[in-house]
Amino acid sequence: MNKVSVIIPMYNSDKSIRRLLNELSEQTYQNSEYIIVDDGSKDESYSIVKKYIEETHDNRFELYHQENKGVSSARNLGLQHASGEYLIFIDADDKIEKLFIEKYVNKIKSTKSDITIFPINVISSLSSDKDKIVINNSLINKDNITVKDLLSNIFAGYIDTYLFGFIFKRSLWKNVFFNERIAYKEDYLSICTILFNNVNCKIVSGSEPYYWYCDNQFGLSGVYTKKRVEDGLYVSKLIVKKLCSEKSALYGLAVGACLVAELESINFAVDSDDDKLFRKHSDEFINLFKKAKFVSKKTKIKRQIQYFLLKSNLYKISHYLKRK
């Protein structure tokens, strides 16, 4: 039975971590190590996990503590301690089904693949699933996904790079770490880096979701912070620059994805009443638009309208009206 390393960064999760510990303990797949990294929690999270391990004597659990450095740093510490053949990431605020690890491992083993991607259940509250939606199901049950296919779906927005939707061969993460300077799209950057570094790796997909992602912003839109928009744009531009230098066929799709990051910056500038920032990112959007490619006609038309509104100085009015 192949060993699986499960990395769980934790920060102020005392309201949910007990439930997750029980769900991990009840997993049908036994050969796992649960690497929990407390990122300087100010609540009782660390004490709860420590007590649980002492009371259960379950040697699958490993607990580490560091001062608050962010989720990327916590995951990097987890990677340093991982020893399994396969690698899974979990967030401490979510929930998993009993078959979660078993299904992930069985799929990647039976197909002899390097990466397997699964659909994800998204809910707004752990206490109810009445508003559940399923994401990352555009490539359901396919056993011959190329790196180009997956990147195309990521850039088009059909696949989100939430780490808990993937199981990886740990060898793919050799010399790959999370950028600790960014707090948004750090997973996006790491997964793209792995795909860029392993263009011939075998990728397959599962058909059913076994992970429940609790999105506290579920149903909300336009939630931006300066750090978020800066990090998102930094990552998007980094990927565009790399693909441009390689004259990749994916360059146009990456530019299309970068337009979304530019729009987040534009909307943040409008909401912050920062005209200088608005003009800067408006000009960048207009210049990038001509280089972009789009998978769907609907997305292309949407970006064309946004391009027209920015060119004709009508975007702010449109944005304000949408907020009403």
Round to whole Å and give the CA distance between 320 and 310. Answer: 14
Tell me if the domain spanning 4-214 has CATH number 3.40.50.620: no
Confidence grade of residue 324 (pLDDT, cut at 50, 70, 90):
low
Q: What is the pLDDT of residue 323?
A: 65
The amino acid at residue 184 is Y
User: Between 91 and 222, whose confidence is greater?
Assistant: 91
Q: Calculate what percentage of the chain has a pLDDT beyond 70.
A: 96
Which residue is it, tokens 């300077």?
A: 181
Q: What is the pLDDT of residue 219?
A: 34
Where do the structural domains in the chain lie, given as residue ranges? 4-214, 226-323
Average pLDDT for 86-98: 96
pLDDT in tens, 233-266: 999 999 999 999 888 999 999 999 999 999 999 9
E strands present in the chain: 4-10, 32-39, 61-66, 86-89, 95-96, 115-117, 120-123, 133-135, 166-169, 203-205, 211-214
Q: What is the pLDDT of residue 238?
A: 97
CA dihedral 70, 76, 77, 78 (to 10 degrees): 110
pLDDT in tens, 270-287: 999 999 999 999 999 999
Does the pLDDT at position 318 exceed 80? yes
pLDDT in tens, 181-218: 998 999 999 999 999 999 999 999 999 999 999 886 53
